[in-house]
């Protein structure tokens, strides 16, 4: 059976109440950042005091499967070599001169625990963000080890705590937890289920994507990561295709799109394919995530995508953020896109959980 998107459901109290298990955690994202930052404050202060007077590490190794967000933030700015190592081990060269940082939101992954134990055994400086009573925390016991306690399981909130410590060690960019939390609060207010469809950016975006194949693009490293996460959320919410990638990955899709037949009569033949591709595929919609990055490469890619979309008469939607820090802008883009995915599921009458 073909699923039909019904935008009337986006202002239907019953439909929105059924989606509360998905929407409520999105609304609480800012509170989770504040709570995790508050819980870890003493551990961060102790780690900074312990490192006072120490030389910078030779390299920073972000280990474990949740290291990719740290990579997106740190790789462009870290003053020492930075390596993301998502496997259940460490690079062969990592040793006592290096800092190993690990995000373990649930603290139960045996591979991550093994990597932490290996780092301790090699004499690395180790910082782990994980629940205080967890398998990973047990393996992090050592003279040069610090555990940043966390409890929410929220990957973004825990990453913000780790990035705050790295900023204070002069190894990362400014990461103000309050600015991230405020950006998430602003998104929650703008995208609240109680906000009317006409003024709710996430509901409007869900409508734009309701009968389309999303092509999601972000120009900066962080915006590109947000694009991948948003595409994942759209796929989970709809059970449909959603693509994220660089311009060279998305351009072939745009250029292969047949411009719609403006004279097609969908009422005469409701199963007609106005895009003329013969297989009834949903037309693409280009979704640009704009975090304010304006380098020459970003402008060039954006221009090529917009030109191809205009030539093929493909709809273009933009989600932008003017939050104060890079991580806050990333959080805002991701939050808006995730809200839109939730409302897409509501409009398609898919199970909320």
Q: Contact at 8 Å (CB) between 278 and 335?
A: no
* Superfamily in which the 30-176 domain is placed by CATH: Glucose-6-phosphate isomerase like protein; domain 1 (3.40.50.10490)
Q: CA dist 286 to 16, 280, 281, 334, 348, Å?
A: 27, 18, 15, 16, 20
Check if the beta carbon of residue 285 is closer than 8 Å to that of residue 315.
Answer: yes
pLDDT of residue 261: 67
Q: Which of 57-66, 121-130, 220-229, 286-295 has the lowest mean pLDDT?
A: 57-66
What mean pLDDT is predicted for residues 198-204? Answer: 96
Output the pLDDT for position 50.
87
Please tell me the predicted confidence (pLDDT) of residue 277. 41
The residue with greater pLDDT, 273 or 22, is 22
Q: For residue 154, which of 292, 7, 37, 33 has the smallest C-alpha distance?
A: 33
Task: Name the nearest CA neighbour of 323 among 315, 334, 312, 314.
Answer: 334
DSSP 223-284: HHHHHHHHHHHHHHHHSS--EE--HHHHHHHHHTPPPP-TT--TTT-TT--TT--SS-PPPE
DSSP sequence for 269-331: -TT--TT--SS-PPPEEEEEEE-S---HHHHHHHHHHHHHHHHTT-EEEEEE---SSHHHHHH
pLDDT tens-digit readout, 202-239: 999 999 999 999 999 999 999 999 999 999 999 999 99
pLDDT at 65: 79
Output 350 or 305, whichever has higher pLDDT: 305
Q: pLDDT tens digits for 319-329?
A: 999 999 999 99
State the pLDDT confidence band at 279, using cuts at 50, 70 and 90: very low
Alpha helices (H) in 123-170, listed in sequence order:
135-139, 155-168
pLDDT digits (tens, 9 = 90+) for 40-93: 999 999 999 988 878 899 999 998 877 889 999 998 889 999 999 887 789 999
**Of 87, 229, 82, which Cα lies nearest the Cα of 155?**
229
Would you state the pLDDT for residue 187? Answer: 98
What pLDDT, in 10s, does the model give residues 241-272? 999 999 999 999 999 998 876 666 655 554 44
Proportion of the chain in helix, strand, coil states, percent, rounded to 5 = 50, 15, 40
d(CA 11, CA 344): 12
Region 169-177: mean pLDDT is 93
The stretch 148-174 carries a mean pLDDT of 94
What is the residue-averaged pLDDT of the chain? 91
CATH 3.40.50.10490 range(s) for the chain read 7-19+193-347, 30-176
Residue 32, helix vs strand vs coil: helix
Predicted pLDDT at 278: 40
pLDDT digits 0-9 by tens, 174-194 = 999 999 999 999 999 999 999
Look at residue 266 in the predicted model and tell me its pLDDT: 57
| Amino acid 264: pLDDT | 64
Average pLDDT over residues 118-137: 94
Rounded to whole angstroms, the maximal C-alpha distance in the chain is 77
The pLDDT value given to residue 81: 94
Please tell me the predicted confidence (pLDDT) of residue 94: 94
Work out the end-to-end distance of the chain between its first and last CA atoms, rounded to an integer number of angstroms: 21
Tokens representing residue 1 in the block: 């059976």
Strand ranges (DSSP E) for 160-230?
213-218
Q: Specify the CATH number for 7-19+193-347; select among 3.40.50.10490, 2.60.120.10, 1.25.60.10, 3.30.420.40.
A: 3.40.50.10490
Mean pLDDT of 270-290: 68
Residue of 346 and 273 predicted with greater confidence:
346
Task: List the strands of the sheet with 315-320, edge to edge.
Answer: 243-244, 213-218, 284-290, 315-320
């Amino acid at each position: 059976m073909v699923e039909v998107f019904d935008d009337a459901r986006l202002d239907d109290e019953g439909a929105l109440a059924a989606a509360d298990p998905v929407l409520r955690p999105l609304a609480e994202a800012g509170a989770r950042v504040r709570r995790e930052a508050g819980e870890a404050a003493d551990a961060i202060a102790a780690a900074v005091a312990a490192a006072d007077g120490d030389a910078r590490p030779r390299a920073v190794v972000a280990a474990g499967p949740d290291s990719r967000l740290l990579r997106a933030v740190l790789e462009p700015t870290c003053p020492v070599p930075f390596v993301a190592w998502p496997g259940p081990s460490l690079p062969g060269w990592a040793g006592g001169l290096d800092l190993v940082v690990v995000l373990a939101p649930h603290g139960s992954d045996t591979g991550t625990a093994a990597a932490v134990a290996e780092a301790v055994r090699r004499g690395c400086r180790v910082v782990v963000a994980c629940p205080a009573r967890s398998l990973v925390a047990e393996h992090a016991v050592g003279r040069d080890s610090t555990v940043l306690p966390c409890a929410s399981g929220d990957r973004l909130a825990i990453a913000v705590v780790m990035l705050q410590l790295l900023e204070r060690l002069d190894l990362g960019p400014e990461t103000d937890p309050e600015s991230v939390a405020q950006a998430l609060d602003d998104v929650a207010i703008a995208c609240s289920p109680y906000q009317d469809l006409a003024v709710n950016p996430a509901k409007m975006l869900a409508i734009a994507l309701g009968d389309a194949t999303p092509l999601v693009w972000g120009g900066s490293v962080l915006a590109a990561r947000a694009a991948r996460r948003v595409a994942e959320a759209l796929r989970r919410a709809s059970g449909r295709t959603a693509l994220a990638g660089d311009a060279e990955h998305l351009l072939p899709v745009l250029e292969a799109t047949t411009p719609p037949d403006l004279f097609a009569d969908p009422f005469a033949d409701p199963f007609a394919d106005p895009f003329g591709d013969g297989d009834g595929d949903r037309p693409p919609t280009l979704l640009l995530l704009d975090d304010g990055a304006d380098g020459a490469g970003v402008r060039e890619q954006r221009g090529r995508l917009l030109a191809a979309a205009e030539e093929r008469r493909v709809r273009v939607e933009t989600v932008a953020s003017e939050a104060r820090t890079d991580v806050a802008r990333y959080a805002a883009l991701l939050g808006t896109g995730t809200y839109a995915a939730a409302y897409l599921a509501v409009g398609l009458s898919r199970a909320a959980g």
